[in-house]
């Protein structure tokens, strides 16, 4: 039911957006673009493209290791833009070299604005434990992907293409699909930007303006990239970041959803973080039911888990009565909660006030922390909107805010 609703929302957005992506002066097509044939698209664990060449570990972060031209889909229709994928070198949350992929879409028409063409780094809410759910694959199979991020959410990003911006989607969870791991996501996003800005076929300037954008799990990755940009990739010309529905405090997020409708989201988050930080010792806390849960879902996407575990409890899978308060959980919060640095560029935070999965108070606390540390933040709270409603209602205002940053307009600062 949920996936059907999201797909219909995406289809409506697609109808509006694709009409704005056609080259200027082009004749109106007599019939819709035929659906693409995705039968030959291999999943990442079977595709040689994702296997890095030997010795890649010594390359600088963001180095393009290989590339290919692809067809990117919005639901079932090819997007009228140049689409390329790059495999690039990055590092995970422990500084270990990894190879990750990013997909960059460039409008077919020349950039008509001043300066180089802007780039939007859009973080899709991958929220998964499987490479089958990462954007480089889902963008090639569209509605055939096992995650709604490839359908309704992808179409919400197309407004940036309609404005003439290039858009990059990084596989920021890395080759091990480490959901909710903040440092991993930050590195993946920032190195993906580095890679495509130095990839000639994308037609981008290495010092061109960049904006970060994402919602929910993508908002978490966006926030982490915004916080880490200055220390990790100071050369990037990031002009602003828009992050919505951000699970800013993982402890509060886990406790908010435990026993409620979004309990499965908490479970998949714990599994992703246990994978990223084995030293936390989460595996040692599992009972037989917990070990089976981890084993059965090691290659699953968001809805595979979330839809099957509403109102569940984390304690059902552990040998301790309060796993969210355990030392193992504390280590994960310490490593992956947002608020570890304040972005040096304008930050836009938006969220529905009736969000049933992501509590608003931690996002308000994050904004307050940024403000206390000298940040420039605009906050938008959408009355009566739940999680999906907040994303849809907040989409165009977020894009408008990012467009103003590209135009050099002074941002509103709610910190003042």
pLDDT tens column, 397-411: 999 999 999 999 999
Model pTM score: 0.92
Q: Residue 24: what pLDDT?
A: 36
Distances (CA, A) of 22 to 27, 376, 394: 9, 36, 25
Assigned superfamily of 55-248+344-406: Alpha/Beta hydrolase fold, catalytic domain (3.40.50.1820)
| Widest pairwise Cα distance in the chain | 65
Q: Residue 321: what pLDDT?
A: 94
Q: Which of 355, 380, 395, 403 is catalytic?
A: 355
What is the rounded (10 degree) CA torsion for 77, 82, 83, 88?
-170
Instruction: For the chain, give every residue range classified as CATH 3.40.50.1820.
Output: 55-248+344-406
pLDDT per residue over 195-204, tens digit each? 999 999 999 9
Parallel, antiparallel, or unpaired for β 166-170 and 97-107? antiparallel
Parallel, antiparallel, or unpaired for β 209-215 and 166-170? unpaired
Q: Across the strands, what pairs with 241?
A: 212, 347
Whether 387 sits among the annotated catalytic residues: the reply is yes
Rounded to an integer, the average pLDDT of 211-220 is 98
Q: Across the strands, what pairs with 378?
A: 348
Q: Are 193 and 100 in contact (CB under 8 A)?
A: no
**What distance in Å separates the CA atoms of residue 118 and residue 109, rounded to the nearest whole number?**
13
Rounded to an integer, the average pLDDT of 222-245 is 98
Nearest Cα to 84, choosing from 104, 101, 60?
A: 104
Fold observed for domain 250-335 = 434 Repressor (Amino-terminal Domain) (1.10.260)
For the beta sheet containing 237-244, the strands, ordered from the edge strand earlier in sequence to the opposite edge, are: 64-69, 81-91, 97-107, 166-170, 119-123, 209-215, 237-244, 347-352, 377-382
Average pLDDT in the chain: 92
E-state strands within 75-159: 77-78, 81-91, 97-107, 119-123
Q: Residue 33: what pLDDT?
A: 63
Instruction: For the chain, give every residue range classified as CATH 1.10.260.130.
Output: 250-335
Q: Is it the case that residue 342 has pLDDT exceeding 50?
A: yes
Q: Residue 16: what pLDDT?
A: 39
pLDDT per residue over 167-185, tens digit each? 999 999 999 999 999 999 9
More confident position, 301 or 26: 301
Q: Which of 216, 258, 309, 403 is catalytic?
A: 216
Q: Which of 258, 387, 395, 403 is catalytic?
A: 387
Q: Are 237 and 208 in contact (CB under 8 A)?
A: yes
Q: Is it the case that residue 215 has pLDDT exceeding 80?
A: yes
Q: Residue 149: what pLDDT?
A: 77
Q: Across the strands, what pairs with 120?
A: 167, 211
Rounded to an integer, the average pLDDT of 307-332 is 96
Other CB atoms within 10 A of residue 55 CB: 7
Whether 127 sits among the annotated catalytic residues: the reply is no
pLDDT per residue over 21-60, tens digit each? 543 333 333 345 667 767 789 999 999 999 999 999 999 9
More confident position, 148 or 178: 178
Q: Is it the case that residue 95 has pLDDT exceeding 90?
A: yes
Whether 59 sits among the annotated catalytic residues: the reply is no
């Amino acid at each position: 039911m949920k996936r059907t609703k999201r797909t219909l929302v995406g289809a409506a957005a697609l109808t509006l957006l694709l009409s704005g992506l056609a080259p200027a002066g082009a004749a109106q097509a007599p019939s819709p673009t035929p659906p693409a044939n995705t039968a030959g698209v291999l999943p990442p664990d079977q595709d040689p493209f994702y296997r890095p060449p030997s010795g890649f570990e010594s390359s600088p972060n963001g180095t393009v290791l290989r590339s290919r031209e692809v067809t990117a889909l919005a639901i079932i229709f090819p997007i009228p833009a140049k689409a390329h994928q790059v495999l690039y070198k990055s590092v995970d949350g422990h500084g270990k070299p990894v190879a990750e992929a990013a997909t960059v879409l460039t409008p077919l028409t020349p950039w008509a604005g001043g300066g180089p063409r802007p780039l939007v780094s859009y973080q899709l809410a991958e929220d998964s434990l499987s490479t089958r759910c990462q954007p480089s694959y889902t963008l090639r199979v569209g509605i055939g992907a096992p995650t709604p991020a490839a359908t309704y959410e992808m179409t919400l990003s197309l407004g940036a293409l309609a404005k003439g911006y290039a858009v990059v989607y990084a596989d920021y969870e890395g080759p091990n699909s480490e959901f909710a791991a903040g440092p991993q996501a930050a590195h993946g996003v920032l190195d993906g930007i580095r890679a495509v800005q130095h990839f000639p076929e994308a037609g981008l300037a290495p010092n061109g303006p960049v904006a970060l954008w994402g919602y929910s799990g993508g908002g978490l990755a966006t926030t982490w990239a915004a916080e880490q940009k200055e220390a990790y990739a100071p050369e990037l010309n990031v002009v602003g970041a828009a992050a919505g529905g951000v699970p800013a405090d993982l402890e509060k997020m886990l406790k908010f959803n435990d026993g409620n409708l979004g309990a499965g989201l908490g479970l998949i988050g714990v599994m992703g973080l246990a994978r990223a930080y084995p030293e936390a010792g989460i595996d040692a806390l599992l009972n037989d039911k917990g070990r089976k849960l981890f084993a059965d879902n090691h290659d699953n996407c968001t809805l595979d888990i979330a839809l099957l575990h509403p109102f569940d409890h984390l304690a059902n899978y552990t040998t301790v009565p309060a796993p969210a308060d355990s030392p193992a959980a504390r280590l994960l919060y310490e490593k992956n909660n947002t608020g570890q640095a304040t972005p040096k560029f304008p930050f836009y935070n938006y969220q529905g006030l009736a969000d049933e999965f992501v509590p608003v108070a931690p996002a308000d606390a994050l904004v307050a922390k940024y403000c206390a540390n000298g940040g420039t933040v605009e906050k938008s709270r959408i009355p009566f909107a739940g999680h999906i409603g907040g994303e849809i209602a907040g989409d165009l205002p977020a894009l408008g805010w990012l467009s103003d940053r590209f135009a050099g307009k002074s941002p509103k600062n709610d910190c003042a």
